[in-house]
Amino acid sequence: MTAPRAPFFPADRSIRADQALEIQKLGTVNYQEAWDLQAKLARQRADGEIPDQLLFLEHPDVYTAGKRTQPSDMPTNGLPTIKVDRGGRITWHGRGQLVVYPIIKLAEPVDVVDYVRRLEEGIIDALTTFGSQKVGRIAGRSGVWVPYSVSAVDKNASSRDRKIAALGIRVTRGVTMHGLSLNCNNSLEFYEHIVACGIDDADVTTLSLEHGREVTTEEMIPLLHKSLVRALAGDLAVSDHSLDSSRVGPSPQ
């Protein structure tokens, strides 16, 4: 399989400028506190004071609005919304959702698209290793998806295309901030009050719904850690995991 587009440098080369990497498992952290920590670490990484970082954590319930968020996307339930400097539109974070913030110094020439594709590849590899039937990309949409043609074990899951992992990043002075979120065993109720990621013709899902059992964030950390490191290092090739999608699946019976 080939990559969605050729990267600026060989696909088997690390996209990270250096090899040293520290992992931090932070538990549940208030969003603003985590954002402030990211900014501090990113400054330190840009100045060469610390190695690359991978932060694994969860947030208390919060909406975050990226730079492309539209007024019509905003929540209707009164939950606080924080405007952030990442790309993308509005999304929700909360307990049961695994969030990963890579603070990575990118190799030159900086290739933001390739970086995003490598994050997606790491997620896809981790979920495939976990046993997910079919996950991949949908043309024109970021993140990782389950197509409507794949039935979830839990019949409460949507019959439409279902987003299981979201991405939103920022690169400053060649250092990445923000990152990805993977729905493990979180509630989906909070998504009902926003137009998540600006998409109104598809749905969201969790690993627990797709597999019919409780899948915790702790269970997914080792798999996601291993796959992300391999993808960023070029040991895991970015492949064309395009999914067949009708955008809107068949109506429930």
Tell me whether residue 184 is one of the annotated catalytic residues.
no
Rg (C-alpha) for the chain, rounded Å, is: 17
Active-site choice (197, 202, 224, 238): 197
Return the structure tokens found at 155.
């019949």
Q: Which residues, at least 6 apart from 23, have a Cβ–Cβ distance to it below 8 Å?
A: 53, 54, 56, 225
Residue 230 CB burial class (10 angstroms; 0-12, 13-18, ≥19): middle
- Give, as one character, the DSSP assignment of residue 45: H
Residue type, 39: A
Contact between residue 91 and residue 59 where contact means Cβ atoms under 8 Å apart: no
The set of catalytic residues is 197
